Amino acid sequence: MFGFLQKSREKELDYSAVQDKQRRQAPQTTVKHEEKILTPRKRSKINATSQDQMRNISLVAWMVRKHLDYVSKFHVSFRVAKNQGDTNGIALDNLVNRILNWHGRPQNLDISSRFGRDELFRMFELEKVVCGDAALLKLPDLKLQAIESDLIAKGQQAPEGVPSSGVIVDKYGKPIQYAICNRGDSGIKHVHDRIVPASSVIFDAYWTRFGSQFRGVSPLSTAINTVQDLYEAFEWNLIKAKMMALFGLAIMRDPEGTPEYGGAGGATDETADADDTATDSNLDLNPRAVNIMDMNPGERVQTIESATPSQEFVEGSKLFVRIAMLALDIPYTCFDSNGSSFSGRIADLNEYEVSVDWKRTKNRYVRKAYSDWLIATIWNDENSPWNLRQVAGAAGLGLRDVQESIEWIPSGSPWLDKLKQIQGDKQAIEIGEDNPIDAARRKGQDVFANIDKTARVFEYAKEKGVPLMFGSSGQKSVEEIVADAVKAANEAEKEV
């Protein structure tokens, strides 16, 4: 008896997710390597569908753009000079910043001379979020070549040993080589082009597995079906509204005194032979004039209206839009802020900042890999006109020191209410819960650069003889305070 109860209890204490009760799709029973689940053919379908939705569905295009605005925008900061008297440090600061500015131009960075640095890395993140991963190929002349996700593949005419994923790994799963393809003469094939070492590639992806995965998966894959259903529902509702608009007016005729026959214009044996009243009524409509209809007795005009889209459809669509936006962690208030208060928007933005932090970190690593490669290449080039090694040596710094001193700072979030948010930052700094450096960085600013620019403004104003003062409204300047003190002292002296 006890054994029977124990077996029943064991059956009851189980995970619901693994019980197949024929009410929904059966639970999965096998754990596989991600490459066995998302095969190259299936990956191609997902990527092609995501790209098609980017072309044709405004919601997806907007979601991706909004994601890029928060995740892919950075500015660079390099500062090693300790003070104004550190001439060697200042010289190195100026040189490295000049190098970074110079290389950020399209003709110096992109092999196709189309994209500057900010746009190239934005497109890099776009490829990642739409297709799962992307790569930048380092070329000997300090150029980068963008490699789209589907061009990392085995391809036609590939040598033996190249896996279908296009990523050649060691026994631990670490990439050691990448197989690069081109699209062939037709533009639609994958023809093997070359195999390049992993050290020559900047690669990044959206991972969904800890170890059993060589290629990334687009986060949009969870929203593809929802967005497609929404798109088709919108189309059908628009078609329905157009059809109703085509009819416009319905003119109803009933014979006078016999409303029981024919109903609203319907014909019966008694009414079929009735005189045509259309010639007796002024029913011609002129769209360029005010129309007055002289209706016969029993006649009436009704407008054909349609409650399309219905309120239920509108509310349901909002829910599904919210669900689709979850794929990129975007808060719904970014899409529609009408129903949210200021504090609610601030709370949503704070939650979103937490969600995008790891995505910014991934892109910061990508930019760091880029700047490390750029600085190392110039450093090791004996014929480089920049003389970076000599200038850094005079400042007492080596290659690694210069590389580590380059910071990529995310541009942060926009102001929602600048006055209120600045007042909050100010109070947090005053009680020691924050500091000017982090407060500035949250908005993509560099407090030291701001101070330098302010000093230049004051110096220029002094040269021009223009008095310049920054302060709160109603606050006295130093000169005013001194003048008041002198006046008070003079008055006190007179009294004595």
Averaged pLDDT, groups of 10, the chain, 496 residues long: 54 60 75 90 93 95 95 93 90 97 97 96 97 96 96 93 93 95 89 96 95 93 94 88 71 59 46 47 63 72 71 90 95 86 84 92 97 97 94 96 95 76 85 86 80 85 82 61 72 69
pLDDT on residue 263: 44
Backbone angles phi, psi at 33, to 5 degrees: -65, 140
Q: Does residue 235 sit in the same domain as residue 271?
A: yes
pLDDT on residue 267: 47
Q: Is residue 1 part of a domain?
A: no
Number of compact structural domains in the chain:
3
Residue 42 CA to residue 38 CA, distance in Å, equals 6
Q: Does residue 186 sit in the same domain as residue 208?
A: yes
Q: Is residue 356 part of a domain?
A: no
Q: Is residue 437 part of a domain?
A: yes
Where does a domain end: 221, 238, 273? 221
- Kindly report, residue by residue over 243-256, the tens digit of the pLDDT: 777 666 667 776 55
Q: Does residue 49 sit in the same domain as residue 109?
A: yes
Query: Which one-letter amino acid corresponds to residue 31?
Result: V
Q: Does residue 80 sit in the same domain as residue 145?
A: yes
- Tokens (6 digits) for 143: 């150029």
Neighbours of 336 (CB within 10 A): 11
Q: How distant, in Å, are the alpha carbons of 134, 150, 202, 389 from that of 139?
A: 16, 20, 11, 21
Q: Is residue 162 part of a domain?
A: yes
Q: Does residue 244 sit in the same domain as residue 182?
A: no
- Kindly report, residue by residue over 277-306, the tens digit of the pLDDT: 444 445 566 667 766 777 777 777 776 666
Centroid of chain to Cα 211: 27
Q: How distant, in Å, are the alpha carbons of 99, 418, 424, 429, 439 from that of 433?
A: 37, 19, 11, 6, 11
Dihedral angle sign, alpha carbons of residues 101, 102, 107, 110: negative
Q: Does residue 98 sit in the same domain as residue 180?
A: yes
Q: Is residue 25 part of a domain?
A: no
Q: Is residue 465 part of a domain?
A: yes
Neighbours of 145 (CB within 10 A): 14
Q: Does residue 73 sit in the same domain as residue 156?
A: yes
* DSSP H helices in 27-143: 34-37, 40-56, 58-71, 87-103, 106-109, 117-131
Where does a domain end: 294, 310, 326? 310
Residue 79 CA to residue 90 CA, distance in Å, equals 8
Q: Does residue 139 sit in the same domain as residue 255?
A: no
Q: Is residue 380 part of a domain?
A: no
Residue 386 CA to residue 98 CA, distance in Å, equals 10
Where does a domain end: 310, 334, 368? 310
pLDDT on residue 261: 45
pLDDT on residue 322: 94
Helix (H) or strand (E) holding 175: strand 175-182
pLDDT on residue 360: 95
Q: Is residue 259 part of a domain?
A: yes
Report DSSP state, residue 273.
Answer: T
pLDDT on residue 496: 59
Range of the domain at 494: 415-496
What is the DSSP annotation of 355-407? HHHHHHHHHHHHHHHHHHHHHHHHHH-TT-TT-HHHHHHHTT--HHHHHHHEE
Q: Does residue 128 sit in the same domain as residue 242?
A: no
Cβ neighbours for 398, distance < 8 A, ≥ 6 positions apart: 392
